[in-house]
Amino acid sequence: MDAIRIAEGVNAGRLDPVAVVTEHLARIESQDGRIHAFLALNPRAEEEARAVAERVSAGERLPLAGVPFAVKDNLATRGLATTAGSKILADFVPPYTATAVARLRAAGAVLLGKTNLDEFAMGSSTEHSAFGPTKNPWDLARVPGGSSGGSAAAVAAGMVPLALGSDTGGSIRQPAAYTGTLGFKPTYGRVSRYGLIAYASSLDTVGPIARSVADLAAAMDVLAGYDPKDATSLEAEAGFRAALNRPVQGLRVALIRETLGPGTDPAVREATLRFAGVLEDLGVEMGEVGLPELDYALAAYYLVATSEASSNLARYDGTLYGMRSAGADLIAAMKATRARFLGQEVKRRIFMGTFALSSGYYQAYYGRALKARGAIARAFERAFADHDLLITPTAPTPAFRLGEKVTDPLSMYLTDVNTVAANLAGLPALSIPAGFADGLPLGVQLIAPAMQDERLLAVAAAFERATGGSYQRVASLDRG
């Protein structure tokens, strides 16, 4: 059942939140042995559902009353282990809760558990999790994408209607595309990052994954808003559900030409063009725009992201929290701790970032990446001068096979080629299911100008209505 239907039923007294939670836990129990979306379940889920039932019977009306949700395991949950998919945090139980999680709970949603991810959100498949990969519910031989692969798989397999992910370079949108779910990356600053374990702070965002546009909107109305605990948080009214019925007629929308070239799977290209055709039938003015600056997006992203990561991850040295190895002195202990408990991809990122920031190379790498980032932001501004919305495939191909790219970092990084630019420019973007290829779901990405997050939902809702939601269903779980 969709999140908003659960909330309606609970608010009307027709549904018991405890029963809703029990049913979803049973679904997790029966499915997750094969999928491994969850790293841990919330032992207090039923108790928390009872508290929601009491609030409702006391007369409160809660926008997400009784909605079970899952949280990517790089968002802090007080009293519940938060590992970021890393051995170095295997024993870490945070003393505080991320604002995004607290907001969903205040709105009546019930946390069921923490989901798998690539270690510290560095990856595109969940294969870099220290606790084993998540499988794609559509085909168990394939990856669910990443790094929010556990959250996307949990939603796709009907284990929860709603999950939180984080998106630094595509980690909400790409897994959404691979699992036939919807993923929303807000404008940088619209959803608080407080309690998100930092990867690359100038790119990191928190957002929802769901199975319908209305559910995304309901979640965003709760998640968006100013938070004094996040210095980059923005003050803005949230009007996501109100935007669902906004007319789209006359909107100027453009496909980004560079994302439809020979590197893109023909089925993905076809789905993107069909999506554009549906919008055109709805009275949207459809065009095409060239953004050659995007050629630099992936390289700029992997320099900026690794540079910031090398700084952010310096804190995992075994002295204050997390796992620790013994050593003859303090430095030896730190070295032993990091060598033993950080994974290979994380080390690769730290090396790359440290190198890019080192004196003598700083200008050549980090400095130039910042210039490219500026050029990309300006290119978007130019495109948005005469367009309201831009469209690309979310990823160039459908979900790939487990093991296919794990030993080839560059080919793994290339799956993010269409998503990283929105992070570099701080723009809101959404992935919506728009087709299938050989039974595997495909996603289309919509990108809007900064602070026009609601526009993405207006257009996604129009597409969903026009196609009867025919590309959005629970994974059949009958393959692989």
Which has the closest alpha carbon to 346: 105, 24, 130? Answer: 130
> Beta strand pairing status for 252-256 and 389-393?
parallel
- Helix, coil or strand: residue 73: coil
Active site residue 347: no
- Helix, coil or strand: residue 269: helix
Peptide bond connecting 147 to the previous residue in cis, omega within 30 degrees of 0: yes
Would you say 31 or 312 has its CB closer to ligand GLN? 312
Q: In one letter, which amino acid is 61?
A: R
Write down the least CB distance from residue 48 to ligand GLN, Å: 28
Q: Which two tokens stand for residue 428?
A: 């809101």
Q: Which two tokens stand for residue 34?
A: 């094969």
Would you say 121 or 372 has its CB closer to ligand GLN? 121
Q: Is there binding between residue 343 and ligand GLN (CB under 6 A)?
A: no
Q: Is there binding between residue 352 and ligand GLN (CB under 6 A)?
A: no
Rounded Cα–Cα distance for residues 63 and 36 (Å): 29
The correct pick among 63, 113, 123, 435 for binding ligand GLN (CB under 6 A) is 123
Distance of CA 40 to the CA centre of its chain: 19
Q: How many residues bind ligand GLN (CB under 6 A)?
A: 14
Write down the least CB distance from residue 94 to ligand GLN, Å: 19
Would you say 31 or 181 has its CB closer to ligand GLN? 181
Phi, psi of 237 (to 5 degrees): -65, 140
The piece of 168-176, 244-252, 321-329, 403-411 that touches ligand GLN (CB under 6 A) is 168-176
Rounded Cα–Cα distance for residues 286 and 253 (Å): 5
Which has the closest alpha carbon to 477: 207, 7, 137? Answer: 137
Residues 6 or more apart whose Cβ sits within 8 Å of residue 441: 138, 177, 178, 179, 180, 398, 399, 433, 435, 471
Q: Is there binding between residue 199 and ligand GLN (CB under 6 A)?
A: yes
Contact between residue 388 and residue 243 where contact means Cβ atoms under 8 Å apart? no
Q: Is there binding between residue 85 and ligand GLN (CB under 6 A)?
A: no
The correct pick among 116, 171, 192, 272 for binding ligand GLN (CB under 6 A) is 171
Would you say 11 or 147 has its CB closer to ligand GLN? 147
The piece of 85-93, 116-124, 434-442, 455-463 that touches ligand GLN (CB under 6 A) is 116-124
The piece of 17-25, 34-42, 122-130, 367-375 that touches ligand GLN (CB under 6 A) is 122-130
Q: What is the DSSP letter of 150?
A: H
Contact between residue 140 and residue 156 where contact means Cβ atoms under 8 Å apart? no
386-445 residues near ligand GLN, rule: CB under 6 A: 416
The piece of 36-44, 121-129, 253-261, 367-375 that touches ligand GLN (CB under 6 A) is 121-129
Q: Is there binding between residue 116 and ligand GLN (CB under 6 A)?
A: no
Write down the least CB distance from residue 193 to ligand GLN, Å: 12
Work out the number of other CB atoms within 10 angstroms of the CB of residue 137.
Answer: 30
Q: In one letter, which amino acid is 37?
A: A
Q: Is there binding between residue 125 and ligand GLN (CB under 6 A)?
A: no
- Helix, coil or strand: residue 376: helix
Active-site hit among 72, 114, 135, 185: 72
Active site residue 30: no
Would you say 121 or 177 has its CB closer to ligand GLN? 121
Active site residue 307: no
Cα Rg of the chain, angstroms = 21
Write down the least CB distance from residue 104 to ligand GLN, Å: 20
The correct pick among 4, 122, 243, 432 for binding ligand GLN (CB under 6 A) is 122
Active-site hit among 86, 151, 166, 171: 171
Q: Is there binding between residue 187 and ligand GLN (CB under 6 A)?
A: no
Residue carrying structure tokens 């079970």? 68
The piece of 21-29, 106-114, 167-175, 245-253 that touches ligand GLN (CB under 6 A) is 167-175
Q: Is there binding between residue 350 and ligand GLN (CB under 6 A)?
A: no
- State the residue number with the nearest CB to ligand GLN: 171
The piece of 161-169, 322-330, 385-393, 399-407 that touches ligand GLN (CB under 6 A) is 161-169
Active-site hit among 147, 151, 192, 212: 147
Q: Is there binding between residue 86 and ligand GLN (CB under 6 A)?
A: no
Q: HEC states along 92-117?
A: CCCCCCCHHHHHHHHCCCEEEEEECC
| Extended strands (E) in 88-235 | 110-115, 162-167, 182-185, 205-210
Q: Is there binding between residue 169 and ligand GLN (CB under 6 A)?
A: yes
Which has the closest alpha carbon to 304: 247, 345, 353, 351? Answer: 353
Contact between residue 252 and residue 286 where contact means Cβ atoms under 8 Å apart? no
| Extended strands (E) in 213-371 | 252-256, 285-289
Q: Is there binding between residue 124 and ligand GLN (CB under 6 A)?
A: yes
Write down the least CB distance from residue 78 to ligand GLN, Å: 23
Rounded Cα–Cα distance for residues 19 and 17 (Å): 5
The correct pick among 65, 84, 121, 213 for binding ligand GLN (CB under 6 A) is 121
The correct pick among 254, 276, 305, 460 for binding ligand GLN (CB under 6 A) is 305
The correct pick among 133, 149, 170, 343 for binding ligand GLN (CB under 6 A) is 170
- Which spans of this chain sit near ligand GLN (rule: CB under 6 A)? 121-124, 147, 166-171, 199, 305, 416
Catalytic residue numbers? 72, 147, 171
